[in-house]
Amino acid sequence: MSPATVHAPLLPLSNALAGVVRAATASVVSVYSRRSRASGFVWRPGLLVTASDALADEGTIEIGLAGGERVEAILKGRDPSTDIALLRVDRPDLGVIPPAADSVDTGSLAIVVGAADGGATAALGIVARVGTDWRSLRGGRMGPRIELDVAMRASAEGGLALDAAGHAIGMAVFGPRRRVLVIPAQTIDRIASKLDADGRIARGYLGLSLQPVRIDAGGEGAMVMGVDAAGPGAAAGVRQGDIIVRWNGAPLRNTHAIVRELGADSVGSVVEVSATRAGDPLTFSVTIGARPDA
């Protein structure tokens, strides 16, 4: 046994991790939009995924490839509720990282690979938590909640979260309190496929502007501050000044709870909305519509 082998027991692990990052470098890109810089990755040939929250609302978008080359990208669509944006770029030669075949386990190694200045960035950590399916505060239906214990730089948001075999767990993004979350690969496939086909994700729409208020019985209600005359709420009879207190029979926790109920799968469903008007109780059956294009 050579002295190098005796005194470098971590060298095989180090080489393996470097190999994972090296293999992902050609699939991860920098994303430049106005004064914003993030990362993205190849989802399908000619199509890239990045974090919607890290993408500027307007202006041109450029992609920085390994080696420093920049090319223009076209925004195919974005879904803020799941933080997924789809870009089209005229580079079908860029490689795709295969998704992980199995779900990740808490405590397993995770590597976040981003891009900056024509090269890769990497951060090593562990999967801190794997939870159940969840909804974002904007109503997006997510897959399993995956949290990473990793120090991720800002420019790596939208990059790839990989397992120890170099397979894609999903997209690394910042959650509340800068906690690093993973948008799972299955969620990306579902949303990106719809963005590729339609350019948008339909979201539920009530046609009501709501403001939280305290109610006499304790807890929080949602006061109707405005009503779209052509919206579902108006069609059901909801008026400005009504205070919504229950949703499908359950007490309203807060206005965010209503937003979370207006995901893509809510369109066309009928909900029972209980409210008060000048102190009198009322119940409305509201058929949730599709949010109009901005």
The string of DSSP letters for 13-24 reads HHHHHHHHHHHH
104 and 81 inside one domain: yes
> In the listed set 201, 224, 244, which residue is the last one of a domain according to the structure?
201
3 and 113 inside one domain: yes
> In the listed set 144, 172, 201, which residue is the last one of a domain according to the structure?
201
The token duo for 155 is 């420019």
Inform me whether the pLDDT recorded for 206 exceeds 80. Answer: yes
The token duo for 129 is 């938590």
255 and 170 inside one domain: no
116 and 238 inside one domain: no
187 and 254 inside one domain: no
160 and 130 inside one domain: yes
Q: Residue 269: give the domain boundaries.
A: 204-290
> In the listed set 201, 220, 242, which residue is the last one of a domain according to the structure?
201
Give pLDDT tens digits for 21-33: 999 999 999 999 9
Q: Output the domain CATH number for residue 254.
A: 2.30.42.10
Inform me whether the pLDDT recorded for 6 exceeds 70. Answer: no
106 and 19 inside one domain: yes
101 and 232 inside one domain: no
194 and 75 inside one domain: yes
16 and 129 inside one domain: yes
Q: Output the domain CATH number for residue 119.
A: 2.40.10.120
The string of DSSP letters for 52-73 reads GGGS-SSS-EEEEPTTS-EEEE
In this prediction, residues 269-292 reach a mean pLDDT of: 94
Q: Which long-range contacts (CB under 8 A, 24 or more apart) does 1-5 make?
A: none
117 and 210 inside one domain: no
Domains contained in the chain, number: 2
What is the DSSP-derived secondary structure letter of residue 267?
A: T
52 and 99 inside one domain: yes
Give pLDDT tens digits for 101-111: 888 999 999 99
Give pLDDT tens digits for 251-267: 988 888 898 888 878 88
pTM: 0.82
**Which helix H or strand E contains 260, and what residues bound it?**
helix 255-260
